[in-house]
Structure 1
Amino acid sequence: MSILYLVGTPIGNLEDITYRAVRILTEADYIFCEDTRVTAKLCQHYSINTPLKSYHEHNKDKASKQILELLDTDKTVALVSDAGCPCISDPGYELVNQARDKEIRVETIPGPNAAITALMTSGLPSYKFVFLGFLPRQAKEKHDVLDKWMQRESTVMIYESPYRVKQTVKAISEIDSNRKISLGRELTKKFEQVVTEESTIIEQMLESEEIPQKGEFVILIQGQDESLQDTTWWEEMNLKEHVEFYVENHEMRSKDAIKQVSIDRKMKKRDVYEAFHIQE
């Protein structure tokens, strides 16, 4: 029976792979990966001789078709990313949906994840967190996204390149200079560095190159203290305006916005729904 395996691979240290992952990669008929050169190093380290084929953002449609054709002929395919878990801030979810639509079995072999690894070692609250992946490159769009999510209690997890990390930390400082953040780079590698400080201190450390701008970064932002949140900002809005605020500014569906308004105002969701539609 054909199976599509989603296999987690090390984010740096090649020893961070499971016995099951090595077995699946060895037994699969093909391994599809972002960069065959990167995955070849992992395969060579573990004497895995499975043929490699590329699957990345620029060829995913063509490669997905090829994968589905192989699965239709009872082949097993393993999908990996360069580091970490496929489908997480990487292409792959479309392929999973296509496979499921064809009733092809999909199995996940868990593995390391840079965001979770950074959160574990950061010392920041970990009971509530939100993962945003890579932020927009334009300064205004980046600022707007940060401003939106930094108003919440959840710790925010972001991926960032060494070329834009200073700009992103500066944007965080402009929104809240006292907010504690954690910067993790080169996680699990020889020169791993994790620093947790107020955003302005992190900004200074980047400027002085105490934190070198080398390697991929994970930025964690501590959530806003609940006691500092303004819980009455909506008082001058009517119900329709309150719902529309969430739809327009937080990209919520009206159903979700109505639910959030009912929480804000401590009302029954049904009452908010009826009032919202009466005011339309």
Structure 2
Amino acid sequence: MTQKIAIAAFRPSHESLNQVFKRFPQLRGLVIPALILVIWESAAQLGLVAPNLLPAPSVVLSTIWELTYRGEIWQHIGITLYRVFLGFLLGAVTATVLGGLTGYSKVIYTFLDPLIQSLRNIPSLAWVPLFILWLGIQETSKITLVAVGVFFPIYLSLMSGIRDVDRKLIEVGKVYRLKNWQLITRVFLPATLPAYVVGIRSGLGLGWMFVVAAELMGASQGLGFLLVDGQSTGRPAITIASIFLFAIFGKLTDSLVVLLSSHFLSWQDSYIAKA
């Protein structure tokens, strides 16, 4: 009898939870992070992890609140967003131009692509001393380094997307006597847009990664500086708080790209996975 009452009490709450998830499917993505935080907090409170190595989430949130109360956190967030935004803009524009040219022109592809592919394999930290030598430790070198990280995924996605366009689509366009510009806008652009959006998202993600390396170059502000400062001064809560903020703002900017791109890709009749 007691078991039946417990099941009856659980069922309505379970069904209401399913209704919430159906109405707001985005909330499902919070379930696993919430479980991780609960397990992490429990392990920290029970003393299963050393606080000097992995402080509890409550300590990390307290640290973020303290930095916010002192007004420091907004300076670090603001300058990092500034560097990511300008670096992303510079890298995306350059990658779009060069990716479009190498994808559309066989001659430019044979001359330019081997060089770009070789540069793509250079690690991010390898660019740091070179940019310091050429550009100094001011904002120019930091923004340029972010732009380098953004450039390669967008270039590769766009160039590959153009070269992978179905040849039959191009032949149909020529049958309808489409000129070069009409062929680009009515055939190549729609066909390569999905791959281009994936490149934009990948480039933005690498931009957030490269900004950490960029903020090693004599920076006194930024989330990357805050992360390294916490490590060098033995304050793990500061380091983990910086990682939290990178994850949050990286996800927010990626969601913004997805939201904007969904308007341009609304024509796609894509597969939708079943619940």
> TM-score range, shorter-chain basis?
under 0.3
TM-score (norm: length of structure 2): 0.22
**Higher strand proportion (structure 1 or 2):** 1
Which has the higher relative contact order, 1 or 2, with Cα contacts under 8 A spaced 6 or more apart? 2
TM-score (norm: length of structure 1): 0.22
Larger gyration radius, structure 1 or structure 2: 2
**Higher helix proportion (structure 1 or 2):** 2
